[in-house]
Amino acid sequence: MIELSVIIPIYNESMNIHLLHERLTKVVSNLAKTYELIFINDGSKDNSLELVKELSLIDKHVKFIDLSRNFGHQIAVSAGLDYCKGEDVVIIDADLQDPPELIEPMWKKLKEGYQVVYAKRRARAGEGYMKKWTAKMFYRLLSKITSFPIPVDTGDFRIIDRRVVDGLCQMKENHKFLRGQIAWIGFNQTYVEYDRAERNAGVTGYSYKKMINLALNGITAFSNVPIKFVTISGFVVSAIAFLMIIYSFIAKYFIVEGYASGWSSIMVSIMFLGGVQLVSLGIIGEYISRINTDVKQRPLYFIAETNAENENESIKE
């Protein structure tokens, strides 16, 4: 066992790796006598892997895990969690949007008797209005529909202790939403606030598609409210239909005049019902597609090359 592990997922970050390594080392070497920096290369298309490998030759604290392809940020972090040996573990982005210097206050807070200290964004620099707004709305929605609190305005930048790491390694689901899983695990959790900086260099690896997927994973993994919404909309539509039936009879037998007209009401009800049904099918489908991937129980990722030893027996083949 060592004191501190830092998990860094890497996707096309060649322009950030050296500065990140420098800033991380400065902070972490002051905090812990024994530490490791685990870089997980998530199928980068640039020379990030070569840079990390070079670093690992110069600095024995540097470990690398090269995944067999791009599996996505959450899976890359999960691979790091499987392989890390630290008593305490930091999860941090490679683009320096999460300042390594914040690890010190986070670690101090952890030592006051917490198991999780996450970094809460006070402000976010250099990110588009749309991204900030959608993220804000998403976190508010998620906190309304889950039965336990998932902290708002936080990413995965945090420090967690061994108990939480072991807990995460037991949660084998394919569709990861780590910040939700960590909140779900519980224990004593707190936060420190920070202003999120701009990306140091390079472009975001989170396309809108990846963001929507992450959001759907978060919702489906931690809430059944969308399914309840389907049920409730079924009841509401049935109630409206019942009223319409009564109205149709009255119209036919008592208000004979102008009875044949009714094109718009038929159109409206067909379109409305079609919409409700398709949305409902879509919601159910989102849940079923996740069941579909989870029952196959495929490994979360494959590793092409690594210099880190895995002591977690459960994932050895």
CB of 242 to Mg ion, least distance (A): 52
CB of 204 to ligand UDP, least distance (A): 3
**Binding residue for ligand UDP, selected from 42, 82, 88, 153, defined by CB under 6 A:** 42
For residue 171, the 8-state DSSP code is -
- CA 317 to CA 313: how far, in whole Å? 9
Q: Which does 100 bind (CB under 5 to 8 A by kind): ligand UDP, Mg ion, none?
A: none
Helix 162-170, helix 178-185: angle, nearest 10:
120
Q: Which helix (H) or strand (E) holds 189?
A: strand 189-196
* Residue whose CB is less far from ligand UDP, 131 or 162: 131
With contact defined as beta carbons under 8 Å apart, do 159 and 84 qualify?
no
DSSP string, 277-295: HHHHHHHHHHHHHHHHHHH
Residue 38 touching ligand UDP (CB under 6 A): no
CB of 12 to ligand UDP, least distance (A): 7
CB of 11 to ligand UDP, least distance (A): 3
Residue 138 touching ligand UDP (CB under 6 A): no
Q: Which single residue brings its beta carbon nearest to ligand UDP?
A: 205
* Residue whose CB is less far from ligand UDP, 48 or 115: 48
With contact defined as beta carbons under 8 Å apart, do 42 and 72 qualify?
yes
Q: 10 Å Cβ neighbour count for 84?
A: 26
Residue 42 touching Mg ion (CB under 5 A): no
**Residue 62, φ and ψ in degrees, nearest 5:** -85, 125
The upper half-sphere exposure of residue 228, i.e. CA atoms within 13 Å in the direction of its Cβ, equals: 5
Residue 135 touching ligand UDP (CB under 6 A): no
Q: Which does 10 bind (CB under 5 to 8 A by kind): ligand UDP, Mg ion, none?
A: ligand UDP
Q: 10 Å Cβ neighbour count for 197?
A: 15
Alpha helices by DSSP H, listed for 16-152, are 17-31, 48-58, 73-83, 103-111, 129-145
CB of 283 to ligand UDP, least distance (A): 26
Residues 74-133 that bind ligand UDP (CB under 6 A): 76, 93-95, 97
Listed ranges 82-90, 204-212, 240-248, 287-295: which one lies at the site for ligand UDP (CB under 6 A): 204-212
Structure tokens at 31: 């905090």
Residue 36 touching ligand UDP (CB under 6 A): no
With contact defined as beta carbons under 8 Å apart, do 94 and 16 qualify?
yes
Listed ranges 4-12, 146-154, 221-229, 231-239: which one lies at the site for ligand UDP (CB under 6 A): 4-12
Residue 95 touching Mg ion (CB under 5 A): yes
Residue 173 CB partners (closer than 8 Å, separation 6+): 221, 294
**Binding residue for Mg ion, selected from 97, 189, 223, 280, defined by CB under 5 A:** 97
Q: Applying CB under 5 A, what is the total number of residues that bind Mg ion?
A: 2
CB of 247 to Mg ion, least distance (A): 56
Binding site for ligand UDP (CB under 6 A): 9-11, 13, 42, 70, 72-73, 76, 93-95, 97, 204-206
Binding site for Mg ion (CB under 5 A): 95, 97
